[in-house]
Amino acid sequence: MKKYSSELNVQYLVSLLKEFNIKKVIVSPGTTHLSFVACVQYDSFFEVYSSVDERSAAYLACGMCLECGEPIVIACTGATASRNYLPGLTEAYYRKLPILAVTGVKGHDIMGHLINQAIDRRTPPADAVVKSVYLPVITNNRDKWSCEVKINDALCELTRHGGGPVHIDLQTLYDRDFSVSTLPSLRKIQRVEPYQCFPKMPSGRIAVFIGSHRDFSEEETKVIDQFCKSRDSVVFCDHTSGYYGDYAVHFALPTYQKYSSELKDIDLLIHIGEVSGEYGCLGGLSIKNVWRVNPDGEIRDTFKKLSYIFEMPENVFFKEYTLPCCQKSEYLDACLKEVRLIEQLIPELPFSNVWIAKNMAKKLPTNSVLHLGILNSLRCWNYFTLPKGVRSYSNVGGFGIDGCVSTLLGASFLHKESLYFGVVGDLSFFYDMNSIGNRHLGHNIRLLVVNNGKGTEFKNFYHTGASFGDLADDYMAAAGHFGNKSKTLVKDYAKNLGFKYLCASNKQEFLNNVDEFVNPVMEEHSILFEVFTDSEDESNALEIIFNLKSDLKGAVVDNITNLLGGKGAVHKILGEKGVDVFKKILKP
């Protein structure tokens, strides 16, 4: 007996059609969509109709859709049959009818190579469908995730903003295996608009995650804080999140650590904002479910756990889910306690961007603004909280090094009475160095350039480039350019443009100059502070930061053991019960 096709992309489509309760299918004869047709023919869930003429099939679907008010699937093969759908799909487009056109295809890679029955549908007419997706053959886990999300996106679009036709180009391998008895169980991602019924919020630990975001207004911050208070929730954020409310938890430092913590276990993560610069430590969070809230309503499956997308302003969402009376901060208190604990574990670090951030972050004056270069500078500064009243930003949208300084300066033009700080690496500075010669520049710039003579990101211990050793310097890390850590190049350039120049090559020199650099009193000149570091020290400092918990555990054991006179003395003084208690305290 023939069952489901062995082609996974076909199984995924059929499985999610059932999840969305889309059951009416009109099929036309052909081969490239045969695997799909066989599946729906086998499964009694579907109501299958036949139409030899694809043009007629599309119009049949219009009539059925108008009559029953449900999405209708039409399916055909890959040659000119699909072209015959266009008149009916055009009708559906202008009448907002949810018709799903599934067309079989041999693969987009063969387009343009004179292969028979390979009609190019990669760019459908603008007024024929509201969305078109391609479902290639699945070969690995990443393909599985991509296929699952694409189908969800396509099926959600059928009813979005009043509805409309959608196209799926479904690749086939013409596999003759139809022996699969069970469809895979897949995620259903649903979109919620303001006028629809809101789903019940699950119980358990709830956290808000904010990617890069414009600054929240006072009212928007208040709405988020009230939600967190009523739900015993927290806000995970970094220095690009634009949130400065009472429930902020700067999560980077604890989540980079290699130890388990129940605080990282989240039942529901509410995802708002855009690209996060703190992507490196997201693997440290254990997330069961994700709801995304954004007015664009687009499916952004950053954490691969998305189940709902709320197409609405964030304050509408948070007001809807704020409870009337419950007021708790247990989760916040526990998170902040853990962050403080981890901060206390930081030992003396090598002279590096991390060390600079640790010693300078708390010194930034209130009401100043901080712009951070992408990757290493942002990463290092995200480990440390900033004083209240300091706003911070980074170019994480496109994640390029090319405009970090210009972005800082452009912001500074508008508020000449406020201090604008910037921290960038040497390659980022030289890429954008022309900007500091702009004639609109005021006296309110404090630019710190961390000069290690290369793209130190490619030399960090965890980076693939680091495995090449010194060979990485030549082309991967682009070492040796721009004077190769010249002591005079930046100095002369900055001074000639009217900047006051400071420099440091070690910790003491930095400490001798940092107070002048962060002085809240604006001077007659903007200041450029060039700090020379070594990429090996930069990497070593990060490796220490990544392993604080395990390092401290060993250090505490050694220190107490030595203090009490060796392992035998520990047992003698503490006793067996005392040793057990001691082990529990140190247990990660």
- Predicted confidence at residue 8, as pLDDT, reads 98
Contact 527, 445 (CB under 8 A): yes
What predicted TM-score, i.e. pTM, was given to this entire model?
0.89
Contact 82, 49 (CB under 8 A): no
- List of residues 6+ apart from 531 with CB closer than 8 A: 356, 448, 449, 450, 451, 503, 504, 505, 510
Contact 266, 236 (CB under 8 A): no
> Is the pLDDT reported for residue 552 higher than 70?
no
- Predicted confidence at residue 382, as pLDDT, reads 95
The kind and range of the H/E element at 532 are strand 527-532
For 20, other C-beta atoms within 10 Å of its C-beta total 17
Question: How far is residue 482's CA from residue 484's CA, in Å, rounded to a whole number?
Answer: 6
3-state helix, strand, coil in the chain (%, to 5): 40, 15, 40
**Mean pLDDT across 533-546:** 96
CATH no. for 353-544? 3.40.50.970
Query: 184 in helix, strand or coil?
Result: coil
pLDDT tens digit string along 218-228? 999 999 999 99
Contact 102, 61 (CB under 8 A): no
Q: 72 vs 40, 94, 102, 328, CA distance in Å?
A: 13, 16, 11, 48
DSSP for 501-520 reads EEEESSHHHHHHHHHHHT-S
Closest by Cα among 569, 535, 388 to 451:
535
Closest by Cα among 7, 140, 11, 29 to 76:
29
Look at 34-38, 85-89, 249-253 and tell me which has the smallest mean pLDDT: 249-253
Radius of gyration of the CA atoms of the chain, in A: 29
- Predicted confidence at residue 69, as pLDDT, reads 95
N- to C-terminal Cα separation, the chain? 55
Query: 387 in helix, strand or coil?
Result: coil
- Predicted confidence at residue 358, as pLDDT, reads 97
Question: How far is residue 353's CA from residue 337's CA, in Å, rounded to a whole number?
Answer: 25
DSSP for 416-429 reads TTS-EEEEEEHHHH
Q: Which two tokens stand for residue 210?
A: 């904010």
Contact 129, 87 (CB under 8 A): no
- Predicted confidence at residue 91, as pLDDT, reads 97
Q: How confident is the model at residue 101 (pLDDT cuts 50, 70, 90)?
A: very high
pLDDT tens digit string along 419-431? 999 999 999 999 9
pLDDT tens digit string along 107-162? 888 888 878 888 888 889 999 999 999 999 999 999 999 999 999 999 999 999 99
Closest by Cα among 130, 108, 128 to 119:
108
DSSP for 293-359 reads E-TT-----TTS-EEEEE-S-HHHHHHHH--SS----HHHHHHHHHHHHHHHT--PPPSSHHHHHHH
Q: Which two tokens stand for residue 365?
A: 């004056």
- List of residues 6+ apart from 296 with CB closer than 8 A: 311
Architecture of domain 8-186 in this structure: 3-Layer(aba) Sandwich (3.40)
Q: 206-344 has which fold?
A: Rossmann fold (3.40.50)
For 81, other C-beta atoms within 10 Å of its C-beta total 24
Residues spanned by CATH 3.40.50.1220 within the chain?
Answer: 206-344
pLDDT tens digit string along 461-490? 999 999 999 999 999 999 999 999 999 999
Contact 568, 561 (CB under 8 A): no
**Mean pLDDT of all residues belonging to the chain:** 91
**Furthest-apart CA pair in the chain: how many Å?**
91
Q: Which two tokens stand for residue 133?
A: 């997706």
Q: Which residues pair with 308 in a beta bridge?
A: 190, 291
Considering only residues 108 and 444, tell me which one the structure prediction assigns the higher pLDDT.
444
> Is the pLDDT reported for residue 5 higher than 90?
yes
pLDDT tens digit string along 350-380? 999 999 999 999 999 999 999 999 989 999 9
Q: 18 vs 126, 136, 304, CA distance in Å?
A: 28, 20, 21
Question: How far is residue 332's CA from residue 530's CA, in Å, rounded to a whole number?
Answer: 38
Q: Give φ, ψ of 501 to 5 degrees.
A: -110, 130
Residues spanned by CATH 3.40.50.970 within the chain?
Answer: 8-186, 353-544
